[in-house]
Every structure is written in structure tokens, then in C-alpha cells.
Amino acid sequence: MTLVATPRPADDIAEILVNAEDIGAKVREMGARIAADYAGRDLVLVSILKGALPFLADLMRATQIPLALDFLEVSSYGTGTESSGVVRILKDLAQPIAGRDVLVVEDILDTGQTLNYVIDHLHAQRPASVRLCVLLDKPTRRVVPVEIDYRGFEIPDKFVVGYGLDYAERYRNLPFVGVLKSEVYARPS
């Protein structure tokens, strides 16, 4: 019998930027801060599909106060590594947010174009407040200024995958944040 090894997503990683333990510790710290800041408020976590899913799942369990979840799906990137600069809403919120305290939960702040658009879109629905929580921040890439209320890690200007972040829809299931080997980009898709 011939054994063929199944390729694992981690085989394509050149370098780990943030390991799973550090992500876990940071997310617990962020959740505790959010729980303290929003105690007694009508908190809605608005998460942006699909990249923020693992972050949201961990963050909400670290935030032990009553809260609701809602989701937006936007497209800004196509399947490559460069922003198209054009943001489209693919799926809008399911519940009204008027008068409520919205915390946007996002995986990464890069040029800022996506979140700038999303935050304007949310403000138009007259919530009591809109604040922003991002796991990763690439400040050197910013094109539009965006204020961050809760920031996990500042990272250098490198395209990263894992913990929700994808390259061509893959690598979201890695438990850490890392950089792909350059040969991955040369592969036919």
C-alpha cells in the first residue's frame, strides 16, 4: 500500500509572527477590558465575516457580560494579497442597532479602507456608540485614518495568514498568525 502524506496548512508557513499562546493571552486580556468597559450597556459585537470568526469566538467567551452578536460580510480584497480599494456589503446586519453600543470585531486593520467604510455604514443607523476592536494592526499600511479602541498586536507590513486570515480562502484554520513561504504565491491555483 502506498501512503500519501496529506499536506498540512502549516507546511506552507515560513515564519510564525504571533503564536497561539500569545493570541490566547491577549484575547483574554482584551475580553476582560471590554467586559469592564461595557458592564450595564446594551453591547452588540459586530463581526466582519469571514476572517474575524476565530477571534470573535475566542473574544466573546473572554467577555463575560450580556452581549449580542451580529455579522457583516464585505468584500475588499478579491483573492490575492492587494486591496481593490472598493468595498461592497455582501451581507448586512440582521438586527437593528439604533441606540445600542456597537463594538466592531475585526481580524486586521491594513489600509483602513474596509473599516472606514463599515464604521460610516454603522453610524448611519444611529447606534449609541461605535468602537473598534482589532486583533492585528499594520500601521505602516494605513491610507485612511481609523481610530482603534482595542488593539491586539502591531505587526510589520507583511501579508499574514492564520487565525481567520486567508490567502485565496485557505489557511484560516491555522491556530497562529504567520507568513507564507514565497513559493506558495508561485503555485498555480
- Cα 189 from Cα 72, distance rounded (Å): 27
Q: Per the structure block, which three cell numbers stand in for 59?
A: 473574544
Cis previous bond, 91, omega within 30: no
Cβ proximity to ligand IMP: between 39 and 86 the closer is 86
Identity at 56, one-letter amino acid code: L
Cβ proximity to Mg ion: between 12 and 107 the closer is 107
Residue 112, phi-psi category: left (phi > 0), alpha (psi -120 to 50), beta (remainder): left
Pick out residues in 51-70 that bind Mg ion (CB under 5 A): 51
With binding defined as CB under 5 A, does residue 152 bind Mg ion? no
Q: Of 44, 46, 47, 110, which lies in the binding site for ligand IMP, with binding defined by CB under 6 A?
A: 110
- Contact region with ligand IMP (CB under 6 A), list: 14-22, 26-34, 95-103, 159-167: 159-167
At residue 13, the 3 state secondary structure works out as strand
153 touches which of ligand IMP, Mg ion, none (CB within 5 to 8 A by kind)? Answer: none
Q: Is 110 a catalytic site residue?
A: yes
| Cross-strand bridge partners of residue 187 | none
Chain contacts with Mg ion (rule: CB under 5 A): 51, 107
Show which residues are catalytic: 110
